[in-house]
Amino acid sequence: MKSIPDFLRDFECSRRQDGRSGARRFAMRSNVAAICAIAICALFAGATASAAAATDSTAPVVKTRTGEVRGLVKGNVREFLGVPYAAPPVGAMRWRAPLALPSWRGVRDATKFGSSCAQMDFRGARVKGSEDCLYLNIYTPNPPGAGLPVMVWIHGGTFLVGSGSSYDGSKLAERGKLVFVAINYRLGPFGFLASPALDSGDAKHTFGNYGLLDQQAALQWVKENIAAFGGNPKNVTVAGESAGAISAGLHLVSPASAGLFERAILESGPFLHIRTATDAQQRASELESALGCAGVGQAAKCLRAKSTEEILRAIPASPIGQPVWWPIVDGRLIPSQPADALAAGRFNRVAVINGSNRDEGSLFLAFGHQQSAAEFETRAKARFGANAARVLAAYPETGYVSPTQAAAAGFGDQYFSCQILRAGDLLAAKVPVYQYEFNDPHAPNHFIRNPPFPMRAFHSSEIQYVFGAAADNAGLTDAQRKLSEAMMAYWVGFITSGDPGGAPAWTKLTPSDPKILLLAPGAISYEKDFSELHHCALWDSIPR
Phi, psi values for residue 343, rounded to 5°: -60, -35
**How many angstroms separate the CA atoms of 424 and 294, rounded?**
42
Annotated catalytic, 531?
A: no
Closest CA to 517 of 462, 423, 431, 435: 435
Q: Tell me the C-alpha distance between 518 and 412, whole Å.
A: 17
Q: How far apart are CA 291 and CA 438, in angstroms?
A: 44
CA 4 from centre of chain: 15
In 3D space, the residue among 89, 288, 289 whose CA is nearest the CA of residue 190 turns out to be 89
Is 461 in the active site? no
Residue tagged active-site, from 130, 242, 362, 484? 242
User: For residue 55, how far is the Cα from the chain centroid?
Assistant: 35
Residue 168 to residue 56: CA distance in whole angstroms: 23
- Eight-state DSSP code of residue 359: B
Q: Does the annotation mark 437 as catalytic?
A: no
Active-site annotation holder among 360, 397, 437, 462? 360
Q: How many CB atoms lie within 10 A of CB 237?
A: 25
The amino acid sitting at 269 is G
Question: Which residues contact residue 453 at a Cβ distance below 8 angstroms, ignoring those fewer than 6 apart?
Answer: 362, 366, 400, 401, 402, 404, 405, 408
> 26: which DSSP letter?
G
**Which residue in the list 251, 459, 534, 535 is annotated as catalytic?**
459
The DSSP bridge pattern shows strands 135-141 and 179-183 to be antiparallel
Burial bucket for residue 285 (CB in 10 Å: 0-12, 13-18, 19+): middle
The end-to-end CA distance of the chain, in Å, is: 13
For residue 84, which phi and psi values (nearest 5 degrees)? -75, 140
- To the nearest 10°, the Cα dihedral for 185, 191, 192, 195? -150
| Catalytic residue numbers, as ranges | 242, 360, 459
